[in-house]
Structure 1
Amino acid sequence: MDDATRRVEDFSLMDHATQSDPFAFYAAAHSQCPVYRMPETGFYVVTRYDDLRQVLKDTETFSNDVSAKDGKGLQGELGVLYEEIIAERGWAHVQTLQRTDPPLHSRYRKLLDRVFTAKRVREMQPYVDQVANDLIDSWIDDGECEFNMRFAMPMPGIIIAEQLGLDRSQVATFKRWADALIALSIRKWTEAEIRQIAETELEMQHYLFHEFEKRREKPTGDLISALVHAHGDDEEALSMHELQNLMHQLISGGFETTQSAIAHGMWLLLRHPETMQRMRDDMSLIKPFCEEAMRIESPVQGLARKTTREVELNGTTIPAGSMVLTRYGAANRDPEKFACPHLFDIDRKNAGAQIAFGAGVHFCVGASLARQEMVSSFTALLTRLDDIELARELPQPVHNPSLYFMPMKELPIRFRKR
């Protein structure tokens, strides 16, 4: 059946093939049912740009508190089991930055906004540039590499690890932790798998507990120290539960999304060598390229909200207590917002309107750093590598299963050293 004639019901977001290439589903939803109720989960999928902004900005109606403790999440009752294991042997999940609404959210946001400032990111540029070049140094003489794990993953991983005051040599361990932290939002798991994922998070929690205690006694100027000593004379210090939850978000957010943005950016250039050459000839095009790459291949395809009351959205009535999927990837390809939305075009005038970083009070706290990591990455890559191409055909589907993200399985490249 031709994609143009397929019904929205012909797709399932729980299907691996649709998750890996959801764009035909998005196009069907845009034209047929912009707010679509998934029959497999009961979740309401929001696909239009303007509707998505409405949801993201109305935190009173669309709450960010979507804890698994009530059994309504993707894992159902196994989500409750996961929470019980963590609470019994580690530090129970409490809602902090990403999973709170104003006014509680404001306390955590102000704390992190002091760290992830535009000024600090500007000052970090030489360091970010150096990390990119150090990584390229490690494989440039080989003439090929598996780009996803040799560059796209460690690039943001090293930076977030070192900003937290942790050792870059442990980046593979941090990646394993980050994968566990987002696992429950990727797909449904068996009970045995749930227990194993919980073991990995508990390993992380106990490691971080000792790091927090060391910084409490002897601050070192890193982000962990800043979190431990964030309170003023008249403010209450963050509890261990709060510290653990904030680190949960910083570690998981510091890996998956920027890794995906860098990997997909390279994949786009491999499919559009003429654009790669234009950028190599004119490095000022790298910034608009990054915005267009994040628009057309959004690292976060969707996140969840929960309705606090019955609400009507684009003609669909959503009951109170319903789970809502905000599909950033669909909004960024909404034809009512972006002309020819499936066309990759670095000359697009409104690419900067992409919503990959969210909107409203939950706009990504690390957006400035993520943008700098992308710009530094592609500046270094295009300066030092020539004749970049795929080393072999990609596996199908291209991505690992995930309801919310688009993690590439691999991206093998070969090249010539400039």
Structure 2
Amino acid sequence: MTDTTPRNAEIPSFFDPAVQDDPFDAYETMREQCPVHRLPENGLYMVTRYDDVKSVLTDREHFSSNPVGAGFRQSESGKAAAATMAEKGWKRAQTLQRTDPPVHTHYRRMLGRVFTVRRINELTPRIAELCDELIDGFIEQGECEFVRDFALPLPGIVICEQLGLDATQYPTFKRWADAMLASAQRVMTVDEAIEQAEIELEAQHHLAAEFEKRREEPTDDLISALVHAHGADEEPLTMEELQDLMHQLITGGFETTTSALGTGLWLLLRHPDQMAKLRANRDLLDNFIDESLRFDSPVAGLWRRATCPVEVAGVEIEPDASVMVRYGAANRDHAKFDDPNVFDIERENANEHIAFGWGNHLCVGMWLARAELRCAFNALLDRLDDIELARPLDEIPHEFSFMLRPLKELPISFTPSAINDPRPPTNGAET
């Protein structure tokens, strides 16, 4: 097996929470000295340069999204969780993110009928309304814990309502989503893994009942759209396929949007000149969203499996090796972005980031996430003035995760703006 690290390169361990929390110096060293670095702890190959990441993401001959056969040994806790799920629920099917064309094309086509521009446009007024309702909950206090009070509930409630749950059931939904993400966030004991699997089973059985209900009585929500996504010449999705797709939509659309909201505001707090520019010119909003996604991508990276011997940046990778395309590193590549470590909401090529992936696996929920970010920052900048950190953050502000970037908290203080609530009066009232 090739040693991919030059003798003079000192790469810290990515299993160190401090490194995962602030990996950008390590990324710099890796891009310059060992752009494809093999982690000694588990044999994972980490690809860090922009062009190499895009090449891996589009090279279907040498890299697969199907993890079966990848060179990772499942832990005892992972085996226990899988056995619990198989015994009491539905085993995870291979759909969408974990498939390659032409199988992936089939699922992508179905999801394309669900995440339409029309559906996102119809959802946008409700997203804007939710933003104002959440701000109403804390604006009079002059402070809040932004992750808990806004960044978590906004995407959570949006998805929650699309699953046939109302906003009051959001705590239940969050409990389910946390369980689905648990194995990606931290190392667990066997007992902890089984406990999280049991919680995920609650979600599975709830969703199964909702799937069957929508088969008989279609509505205008996300579950109904999935159940009826097949064309006239296609078989309906099976229960296992529906469960796996919902797992991916929940985990992919919840924590990542929460991270993007928290990180975006934190970046503005650390760069008040950029916040002032955005307040003065709201036309910069879309570019701000792209620049924040580039500067600190909510998904640090995702996995691929080498299908045969392949060379990337001069490094030989063996068949069935696990390869991680590291979005967070690629989006700070000097070869692609001038002064990449500078946060600049007027950056001309900010939209060339790959925070949503690339190629045929480009994030299917990208436009929903953008709609949520756009509504959120418009509402926050309209209604909150003098936003600042209420207290210093923890020395390591992110939760440990190998693939995500969740902030532990973001306590802020502010002054309610003169607008306060921009919504028109209801019930015919005049002011």
Q: TM-score range by the shorter chain?
A: over 0.9
Partner in structure 2 of residue 273 of structure 1: 272
Indicate conservation of the 8 Å contact 1:63/1:307, yes or no: yes
| Post-superposition offset of 1:275 | 1.4
Listed as ranges, the matches of 1:156-171 within 5 Å are 156-171=155-170
Partner in structure 1 of residue 99 of structure 2: 100
The structure 1 segments of at least 4 consecutive aligned residues displaced by more than 4 Å after TM superposition are none
Query: Which range moved further: 164-173 or 128-137?
Result: 164-173
Q: Distance in 2 between matches of 1:75 and 1:22?
A: 26
Query: Which range moved further: 311-320 or 115-124?
Result: 115-124
Partner in structure 2 of residue 41 of structure 1: 42
Indicate conservation of the 8 Å contact 1:35/1:314, yes or no: yes
Judging changes above 3 Å, is the alpha-carbon distance between structure 1 residues 77 and 324 closer, same or farther for their aligned structure 2 residues? farther
Partner in structure 2 of residue 391 of structure 1: 390
Indicate conservation of the 8 Å contact 1:35/1:44, yes or no: yes
| Post-superposition offset of 1:163 | 2.4
Q: Aligned AA for 1:281?
A: A
| Post-superposition offset of 1:8 | 4.7
Partner in structure 1 of residue 3 of structure 2: none
Q: Distance in 1 between matches of 2:9 and 2:161?
A: 45
Partner in structure 2 of residue 3 of structure 1: none
Other structure's SS at 1:45 match: strand
Q: State the superposition RMSD in angstroms.
A: 1.6
Partner in structure 2 of residue 173 of structure 1: 172
Cα deviation, 1:142-179, whole Å, max 9, x if unaligned, reads: 10000011101111111122223322222222222222
Partner in structure 1 of residue 242 of structure 2: 243
| Post-superposition offset of 1:77 | 4.6
Cα deviation, 1:238-287, whole Å, max 9, x if unaligned, reads: 11101100110111112100000000000001111121122111111111
Judging changes above 3 Å, is the alpha-carbon distance between structure 1 residues 228 and 120 closer, same or farther for their aligned structure 2 residues? closer
Partner in structure 1 of residue 318 of structure 2: 319
Partner in structure 1 of residue 64 of structure 2: 63
Cα deviation, 1:206-244, whole Å, max 9, x if unaligned, reads: 111111122122111211112122233432111110110
Q: Distance in 2 between matches of 1:247 and 1:303?
A: 19
Q: Aligned AA for 2:340?
A: P
| Post-superposition offset of 1:302 | 0.8
Partner in structure 2 of residue 122 of structure 1: 121
Indicate conservation of the 8 Å contact 1:385/1:416, yes or no: yes
Q: Aligned AA for 1:51?
A: D
Partner in structure 1 of residue 426 of structure 2: none
Partner in structure 2 of residue 52 of structure 1: 53
Other structure's SS at 1:320 match: coil
Other structure's SS at 2:387 match: strand
Partner in structure 2 of residue 295 of structure 1: 294
Query: Which range moved further: 209-218 or 396-405?
Result: 209-218
Partner in structure 2 of residue 11 of structure 1: 12
Listed as ranges, the matches of 1:87-236 within 5 Å are 87-236=86-235
| Post-superposition offset of 1:72 | 4.2
**Superposition TM-score, scaled by structure 2 size:** 0.92
Q: Aligned AA for 1:23?
A: F
Indicate conservation of the 8 Å contact 1:174/1:251, yes or no: no
Indicate conservation of the 8 Å contact 1:388/1:414, yes or no: yes
Query: Which range moved further: 332-341 or 80-89?
Result: 80-89
**Superposition TM-score, scaled by structure 1 size:** 0.95
Other structure's SS at 2:399 match: coil
Q: Aligned AA for 2:34?
A: C
| Post-superposition offset of 1:74 | 7.1
Q: Distance in 2 between matches of 1:23 and 1:231?
A: 43
Q: Aligned AA for 2:16?
A: D
Query: Which range moved further: 147-156 or 36-45?
Result: 147-156
Judging changes above 3 Å, is the alpha-carbon distance between structure 1 residues 207 and 171 closer, same or farther for their aligned structure 2 residues? same
Partner in structure 2 of residue 329 of structure 1: 328
Partner in structure 2 of residue 86 of structure 1: 85
Q: Distance in 2 between matches of 1:187 and 1:250?
A: 20
Q: Distance in 1 between matches of 2:8 and 2:193?
A: 34
Indicate conservation of the 8 Å contact 2:67/2:304, yes or no: yes
Other structure's SS at 1:376 match: helix
Q: Distance in 2 between matches of 1:232 and 1:150?
A: 41
| Post-superposition offset of 1:131 | 1.4
How many pairs were matched up? 411
Q: Distance in 1 between matches of 2:84 and 2:249?
A: 22
Q: Please, which runs of 5 or more residues in structure 2 have no aligned partner? A: 1-6, 418-431
Q: Distance in 2 between matches of 1:181 and 1:81?
A: 15
Q: Aligned AA for 1:410?
A: E
Other structure's SS at 2:114 match: coil
Q: Distance in 1 between matches of 2:12 and 2:384?
A: 40
Answer yes or no: is 1:27 the counterpart of 2:24.
Answer: no
Cα deviation, 1:85-110, whole Å, max 9, x if unaligned, reads: 21111101111111111100111111
Q: Distance in 1 between matches of 2:138 and 2:298?
A: 25
Q: Distance in 2 between matches of 1:400 and 1:65?
A: 27
Partner in structure 1 of residue 338 of structure 2: 339
Indicate conservation of the 8 Å contact 1:333/1:342, yes or no: yes
Q: Aligned AA for 2:228?
A: H
Other structure's SS at 1:355 match: coil
Q: Aligned AA for 1:54?
A: S
Partner in structure 2 of residue 256 of structure 1: 255
| Post-superposition offset of 1:315 | 0.3
Q: Matched residues, percent identical?
A: 54
Cα deviation, 1:296-333, whole Å, max 9, x if unaligned, reads: 01000011111111100000000000000110000000
| Post-superposition offset of 1:340 | 1.1
| Post-superposition offset of 1:121 | 2.1
Indicate conservation of the 8 Å contact 2:77/2:191, yes or no: no
| Post-superposition offset of 1:81 | 3.1
Indicate conservation of the 8 Å contact 1:145/1:413, yes or no: yes
Indicate conservation of the 8 Å contact 1:156/1:373, yes or no: yes
Cα deviation, 1:349-379, whole Å, max 9, x if unaligned, reads: 1100000000011000011111111111111
Other structure's SS at 2:184 match: coil
Q: Distance in 1 between matches of 2:65 and 2:77?
A: 21
Judging changes above 3 Å, is the alpha-carbon distance between structure 1 residues 8 and 385 closer, same or farther for their aligned structure 2 residues? farther
Q: Aligned AA for 1:143?
A: G
